[in-house]
């Protein structure tokens, strides 16, 4: 039988229901694949014993008549999610040794649905990054390589471990989080599907916070159908999260028809600026695919797009600066060694200086600056006003269209270390994704083509608030017509 780790969730579900395979068999193949993929550094904690026990429990539930969609499906979990009894470090030295005594709401729902936990996945420290190079575990490496070039490629960030693990068939699906593109950008870089739902669709409780008004949980998967299956289990109201929406969760998989007749898809003219030729050509082809599915495409304007990156890099660091103030070395995690005579202030200063990586320190300092008394009005307050204008742009656009098609990233994935010396160039990787978070909208990246250097390219669809069902259906139509079947050549 083929390696079961290469299955999609939907295919594995059917084989499990037919009794042709067991969850334990799939889990064993995934664990073997993880063991052979150390060079990727995607999994940073492997919970093999726990995974096998959960798989056997799932097989027992199935024998007793349970037929749940995710029953027995092995998943990887981003290190940002708190998992009871399993190290959850947010890829930061400052959380060294932290083992939560509780489970995040999203992972608790996945385990209740019968999913199996394979382990924790690499990420940028505190979800701050676009390349997964800012991690206490070391960088994660994409399973993809440029044609004829052995240069290691980044998987994108911050959910790089999740994207790399799904792309390399180490797990059948994975969880991620998206604050400014941290699901969609890695999905585009690795040829996987990643959806960021509407802000409030999934609970944030038990997920280590970066920016409270922007963070949102979501899944990585091999197909749009798999993403729909995962999202249904992850979504739902949570009384423990005041930002969680008390709305019914639709059956997202049932909405997948791929027939877009009568639908209007917007193409924002502002997104052409700074776009590479390959990605622009892909965008044009993507629009043709949606028209082939019956949709009408229309040009729209999102005039405040040019302000999105500066607004994001004011609001997100400001919220991060506030949220990360709790890491002081007193109650849990890393504490610096002190010199004789050092007091509590020195303990705070040394612990935070040693515990936070360079990118986190950079954003905390930016955030503290824009929130300071002399600059609050000039920066933070003004950014919040412009954020309102960006929201209004989308509201006006969605009065005319049902969804928006846009590039996910301005270019294919880049090599490890190629942008390390230029933080601004790195931040520009988020130029097409941050608007979605600022407006609280759902967005999904779908693999559509391959670059001239052999790397995957994705397109992004943006939907109306709470219309993940319609968004997934449009993504399904795009996926069907793109026919993306490229796989990374195994080098690890």
CA 150 – CA 488 distance, rounded (Å): 13
CA 413 – CA 189 distance, rounded (Å): 5
Please identify which residue in the block is written with the tokens 């059917």: 14
Strand partners, 57: none
Please identify which residue in the block is written with the tokens 């009408």: 296
In the DSSP assignment, the letter for residue 298 is: E
The number of CA neighbours under 13 Å toward the Cβ of 311 is: 25
CA 208 – CA 252 distance, rounded (Å): 27
In the DSSP assignment, the letter for residue 40 is: G
Which two structure tokens, joined as six digits, stand for 135? 């991690």
Q: Of the candidates 164, 114, 168, 119, which has an alpha carbon nearest to the alpha carbon of residue 139?
A: 164
Catalytic: which of 23, 92, 104, 182? 182
Q: Please confirm, yes or no, whether 68 is among the known catalytic residues.
A: no
Q: Please confirm, yes or no, whether 182 is among the known catalytic residues.
A: yes
Q: Please confirm, yes or no, whether 263 is among the known catalytic residues.
A: no
Phi, psi of 208 (to 5 degrees): -60, 130
- Kindly report the CA angle at 121 between 116 and 127, in degrees rounded to 5? 130
Name, in order, each residue with C-beta under 8 angstroms of 45's C-beta and a sequence gap of 6 or more. 79, 86, 87, 119, 120
Region of 428 please: left (phi>0), alpha (psi -120 to 50) or beta: alpha
Catalytic: which of 104, 142, 158, 159? 158
Q: Of the candidates 125, 86, 129, which has an alpha carbon nearest to the alpha carbon of residue 108?
A: 86
In the DSSP assignment, the letter for residue 190 is: H
Q: Which residues are catalytic?
A: 78, 158, 182
């Amino acid at each position: 039988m083929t390696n079961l780790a290469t299955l999609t969730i939907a295919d594995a579900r059917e084989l499990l229901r037919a009794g042709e395979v067991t969850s334990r068999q799939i889990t064993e193949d995934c664990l073997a694949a993880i063991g052979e993929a150390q060079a990727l550094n995607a999994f940073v904690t492997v919970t093999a014993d726990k995974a096998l026990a959960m798989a056997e429990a799932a097989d027992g539930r199935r024998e007793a008549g349970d037929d749940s969609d995710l029953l027995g499906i092995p998943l990887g979990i981003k290190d940002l999610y708190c998992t009871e009894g399993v190290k959850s470090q947010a890829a930061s030295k400052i959380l060294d040794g932290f083992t939560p005594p509780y489970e995040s709401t999203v992972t608790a729902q996945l385990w209740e649905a019968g999913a199996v936990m394979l382990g924790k996945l690499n990420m940028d420290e505190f979800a701050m990054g676009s390349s997964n190079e800012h991690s206490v575990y070391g960088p994660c490496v994409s399973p993809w390589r440029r044609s004829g070039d052995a240069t290691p490629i980044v998987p994108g960030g911050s959910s790089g471990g999740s994207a790399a693990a799904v792309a390399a068939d180490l797990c059948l699906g994975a969880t991620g989080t998206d604050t400014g593109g941290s699901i969609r950008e890695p999905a585009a870089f690795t040829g996987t599907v990643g959806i960021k739902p509407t802000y409030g669709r999934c609970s944030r409780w038990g997920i280590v916070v970066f920016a409270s008004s922007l963070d949102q949980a979501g899944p990585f998967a091999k197909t749009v159908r798999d993403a729909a299956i995962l999202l249904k289990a992850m979504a739902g109201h949570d009384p423990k999260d005041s930002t969680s929406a008390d709305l019914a969760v639709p059956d997202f998989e049932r909405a997948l028809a791929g027939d877009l007749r009568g639908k209007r898809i917007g193409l924002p003219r502002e997104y052409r600026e700074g776009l590479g030729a390959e990605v622009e050509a892909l965008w044009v082809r993507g629009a043709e695919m949606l028209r082939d599915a019956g949709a009408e495409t229309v040009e729209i304007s999102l005039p405040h797009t040019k302000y999105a990156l500066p607004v994001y890099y004011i609001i997100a660091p400001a919220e991060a600066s506030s949220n990360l103030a709790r890491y002081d070395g007193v109650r849990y995690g890393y504490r610096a060694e002190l010199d004789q005579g050092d007091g509590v202030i020195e303990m705070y200063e040394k612990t935070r200086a040693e515990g936070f990586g360079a990118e986190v320190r950079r954003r905390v300092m930016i955030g503290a600056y824009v929130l300071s008394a002399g600059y609050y009005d000039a920066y933070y307050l003004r950014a919040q006003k412009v954020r309102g204008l960006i929201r209004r742009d989308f509201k006006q656009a969605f009065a005319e269209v049902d969804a928006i098609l846009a590039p996910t990233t301005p270019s294919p994935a880049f090599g490890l270390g190629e942008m390390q010396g230029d933080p601004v160039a790195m931040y520009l990787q988020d130029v097409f994704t941050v608007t979605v978070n600022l407006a609280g909208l759902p967005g999904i990246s779908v693999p559509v083509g391959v670059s001239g250097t052999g790397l995957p390219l994705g397109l992004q669809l943006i939907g109306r608030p709470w219309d993940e069902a319609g968004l997934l259906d449009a993504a399904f139509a795009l996926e069907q017509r793109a026919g993306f079947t490229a796989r990374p050549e195994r080098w690890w």
